[in-house]
Amino acid sequence: MAQRANPREKALEILKHTEEGTFADSLLDQSRKDFDTRDNAFILEIVYGILRNRTRLDWVLDCFSAQPVAKTDIWTRNILRLGAYQMLFLDRVPVSAAVNTSTELAKTHGKKDRYVNGLLRNLDRKRATVIWPDPVDRVKQLSVLYSHPAWLVRRWVTRFNPDIAETLLRENNRPAPLIIRTNTLKTTRDKLKESLATEGVIAIETAYSPVGLEITSGAVITSLTSYRDGWFMVQDQAAQLVSLLLAPQPGETVLDACAAPGGKATHIAELMKDQGKLVALESDPARVRKISENSARLGITCIISVTGDAAAYRGEVFDRILIDAPCSGLGVLRRHPDGRWNKQEHTIRERQALQSKILENCADLLKPGGILVYATCTTEPEENEEVIKAFLDRQGVRFAIEDPRPFLPSEAARFVNEAGYFHTFPNEPSMDGFFGVRLAKKK
C-alpha cells in the first residue's frame, strides 16, 4: 500500500506547496529524479488535472460535505481533491483505490481520515445528484465548470461574449501540445521529422510556424539524439511567430531585452544565420545561465548573455530590439494552470508601469530606422494595447506602428488586426495567447 501511495503522496505535497505560492513546474522538475517514467506521468496527470479542475472539484465535494472544503486545512482539502479527481476523471483508477489511498494519506497529513473516507464514499454513491450553478449566472457557471477565477471569467465574458469566453476556458483546460522549433542552422524541418521517426517519435508539421513540429507521441524529449545534437528547441508556435515579427538580418546588432530562458533569442540568432551580435539581457543570473546552456546546445555563437535590468540597461545602440515584457502570463494558463490561482486582477494593472519603463528605456537604445517589437504572453489590453497607446502618445514623433504581415507566413496574417496588432488570443485558442506589435523608429 505504501509503495502504491508514494506517487500520490508526492502529488499531494506538490499541490500543497503550489497552493502556498510555489510554482508547480519547479516542484515537478525536482520530483522527476525520484520516480520512474510511469510514476512521473501519473504525478503530472494528477497535479495538472487538479489545478485545471480545482473549482469544479470543490463544488462537487461541497455538495456532500457538512462544511465547505475551503474551510478545512490545506492538507485535507488537497487530499479530497486528489481522491475526487481520480474518481471523476481517471477511469483507469478503481474507486476503491482512490478512496483507500486518500484515506491512508489523511492519517498522516491532516489527521481527518474518517472525514475524508466518508465524504469520498458519499461522493461515489451520490455523484449523479450534483446540482451545477444556474446558467442564469453565466460567470459563476463558467467559473465552476471550467475552474477559472470569477474575475477572469467576468473580464472575458464582458470583453467578448459568453460563448467565445467558454471556448477560451475550455481550451485552457486541455493539455498544451508539445511544439518544437527546428534549429535551421543545423537541419531542416523535414530532416528533423525523419530523425524523430527513427527514434519512434511521431511529429506533424505546425499550421503556422514554418519551422515547427508538434510531437504527438514518442519518447522523453531530452533522451532523443536530435535533442542532444541541438536540432531543435521546445517552443510554442505563437512564440515562434513573435521572432518573425522582428525579422532580424545577418550581421545586425540585436537586443533581446528580457531573454530567459532563450527561446526567442536562439530563434533570432537562427534567423540571423548566427552572423552578427545578439545581446541576451536577463536580470536573474540563474536564468542567464539557462540562456548560455541553450545557446551552447544549439551551437549558436553570436549570443552574448548579459545580466542586467531592461528598464535601466545602458550600452550600445541596436538595429533591432525585442521586448518580451514581463507580464501576468494569462496567455499561457494552459501550460501553467497554477497561474490562474496565484494571480489577482490588480496584477494586470501593476505590470503596466514596469512594461512602460522597459519600453521607454529600450526605445532610446534603438538606432534611427531600427525596429522594435513589443510582445507579451498575456491576453489583457492593459498590458498590451494600452501600453503601446501611451508610448505613442509620448513618442509618436519618433515611432510608428509598422504592418507586420509581410514578415509572417501567409497563414498567420489573420492574427494581425487593422491597427497592426498581432494577437493569437482569441483568434486561435489552440495556441498560446501572445500579443505583438512592430514599431519602427523614424529616421
Report which of 361, 265, 239, 273 is spatially closest to residue 322, judged by C-alpha positions. 265
367, containing H or E segment: strand 366-376
Q: Which CATH superfamily is domain 178-234 in?
A: Sun protein; domain 3 (3.30.70.1170)
82, containing H or E segment: helix 74-89
Give the model's pLDDT for residue 217.
87
Number of C-beta neighbours around residue 96 at 10 A = 10
CATH 1.10.287.70 assigned to 237-441: no
For residues 274 and 287, the answer to whether their CB atoms sit within 8 Å is no
Residue 351 exposed, middle or buried by CB count within 10 Å (0-12, 13-18, 19+) = buried
Residue-wise pLDDT tens digits, 303-347: 999 999 999 999 899 999 999 999 999 999 999 999 999 999 998
Number of C-beta neighbours around residue 225 at 10 A = 11
pLDDT above 90 coverage of the chain, percent = 93
- Residue-averaged pLDDT of the chain: 95
Query: Angle at the Cα of 216 (from 211 to 221), degrees rounded to 5?
Result: 75
Using the predicted structure, report yes or no on whether residue 282 has a pLDDT greater than 90.
yes
Provide the residue count of the chain. 443
Residue-wise pLDDT tens digits, 364-415: 999 999 999 999 999 999 999 999 999 999 998 999 999 999 999 999 999 9
3-state secondary structure of 255: strand
User: Which residue in 302, 327, 362, 377 is the catalytic one?
Assistant: 377
Give the single-character DSSP code of 33. Answer: G
For the whole model, what pTM was predicted? 0.94
SS3 of 185-215: CCCCHHHHHHHHHHCCCEEEECCCCCCEEEE
Residue 4 binned pLDDT confidence (cut-offs 50, 70, 90): very low
User: Domain segments of the chain: what residues?
Assistant: 2-129, 138-172, 178-234, 237-441
Question: Would you call 377 a catalytic residue per the annotation?
Answer: yes
Fold of 2-129: N-utilizing Substance Protein B Homolog; Chain A (1.10.940)
